[in-house]
A = this chain, B = another copy of it.
Amino acid sequence: MSNSSSERIVEALRTWIATAPAGAQLPSTRQLVAQYEASPVTVQKALRTLIGQGLIESRPGVGTFVRAIRTARPHDYGWQTAALGTPAHHIPNLSSALRTTPNDVISLHSGYPDKELLPQRLVRAAFTRAARGDSVVDRPAAAGLPELQSWFASQLGAMMPAGLTAPVASDVVILPGSQSGLSTLFRALIGAGRPLLIESPSYWGAILAAAQVGVRLIPVPSGPNGPNPEDIERAFVQTGARAFYAQPNFANPTGIQWSTQLCESVLQIVRKHGAFLIEDDWAHDFGITADSAPLAARDDSGHVVYLRSLTKSVSPAVRVAGLIVRGPARERILADTQAQNMYVSAALQAVALDVVTQPAWRTHLRSVRQQLAARRDLLITALAEHAPTAHLESVPRGGLNLWLRLADEINLHQLTVDCESRGVIIGAGDHWFPAEPAGRYLRLNYSGANPGAFTEAGRLIGQAIQAQ
């Protein structure tokens, strides 16, 4: 009788617990005794059963409570597979360039500069100033803070020759980072299933954004001098594409800067085909022995859509990019970014503007240039000595990366694993090809932490190559 009575209380309390919030207190033993007309022993037994089942917990001297931490049970989400179906466009896994790694390894894989290359003092001061202003509680216009729009426009305008109409603030759309910008550009200007020319190799983030949108990438091979105008011309003719995505200055990953002649040829080709050049000036602030010379500064006919990000040079926390685009294309881009983002945090826009308009920003950029030169040369020297078979086609005049070709016999996956086991993380080049890789390549970023270890890194990479 005591048993069945205890079971009766267990059942009743289970029903109660099932709808009670976690942490809810059960009635006291005395109340339960009265409520269920049972003995204290029977009530205690019922409570012990529920404790054993993980449904409640006793806190001595306080009471008994519905358990906050529930026992995990395996779930079957198989129904989702049917609901989701196969994806319309397959989005590849994230590149290794975003991996975070322990401190004790030498990281040459990252796409982001180390903190010591960031204007940390300026960024902190700008956030502190922003905290006192309106930007941290305001909602800005969808196209951005006018002052920041104006800054992006004047930066490009200052590089334009007389006779061309410089962009104005209202030609600029502020975006929450260049990745969002690429996604929006590919959606608004190209669209799913339609062709887009792209250098091969090219930035993996652009390849990723194209996959998300479902754009059909048309690779144009890029050699030591950039893409060949004849290849671009042929690709436009054969595919009917209306846009070409490119990084004419210090391209990621190759570091190539287009010659003036190539710039002019490409401009002629896009004009002839009534097409856009989507110019990603990602490394504008990372010139080393040259300055970035945007194609957009040679065009006022709306053919060049110009994207410049501050995320890499100001701070990864300041996700702000400026897009300069003229004509109806701007409306279409603005409609997409509004539907995607509404607007960009005014606080981040204010911080970005604050940093880039400080006199110390120029000083900082000069210091970064010197540091990048020293880092680049240190890594080149180490590789030349210890990994002479890794061929550097050209010394980059800007940007953050070395792009090295290895012998075709090299197993790149094995090399990556070998290097990692020796304590160096490298970027296998395959991610930077929109289609099949044209060879075995490494991308080594010289802007990561601990450049003092570059010589050692060169030695370890050399060993790993030798081991094959």
Contact = CB atoms under 8 A, between A and B. Distances in A.
B81 A328 contact: yes
A342 B165 contact: no
Contacts of A165: 70, 72-73, 75
A205 B243 contact: no
A128 B125 CA distance: 9
A317 B176 CA distance: 12
Contact of A137 (B17, B123, B192, B208): B123
Interface string A62-78: 00001111101101010
Contacts of A347: 127, 315, 317-318, 348
Interface in A9-68: 17-23, 55-56, 66-68
User: How many chain copies does the complex carry?
Assistant: 2
Contacts of A180: 340-341
A137 B91 contact: no
Contacts of A209: 339-340
A336 interface: yes
B341 A176 contact: yes
Nearest to A116: B137
Interface string A409-438: 000000000000000000000000000000
Given A142-B98, A274-B82, A317 B345 contact: yes
A332 interface: yes
B274 A83 contact: yes
Contact of A179 (B67, B329, B342): B342
A20 B162 contact: yes
Interface residues of A, number: 105
Interface of A: 17-23, 55-56, 66-70, 72-73, 75, 77, 79-84, 87-88, 91, 93-94, 98, 100, 112, 115, 118, 120, 123-125, 127-128, 130-132, 135-139, 141-142, 157-166, 176-177, 179-180, 183, 187, 189, 191-192, 205, 208-209, 211-212, 242-243, 274-276, 300-302, 315-319, 326-329, 332, 335-336, 338-348
Given A69-B166, A84-B189, 5 more contacts: A21-B161, A77-B327, A91-B336, A135-B317, A348-B348
**The 10 A-B residue pairs with the shortest CB-CB distance in the complex, in nearest-first order:** A77-B327, A127-B131, A212-B339, A139-B316, A317-B347, A83-B242, A91-B335, A128-B131, A17-B162, A77-B302
16 contacts: A18-B161, A22-B157, A23-B158, A70-B164, A80-B329, A84-B189, A98-B142, A115-B138, A123-B137, A131-B131, A139-B316, A139-B317, A183-B340, A209-B339, A317-B348, A340-B340
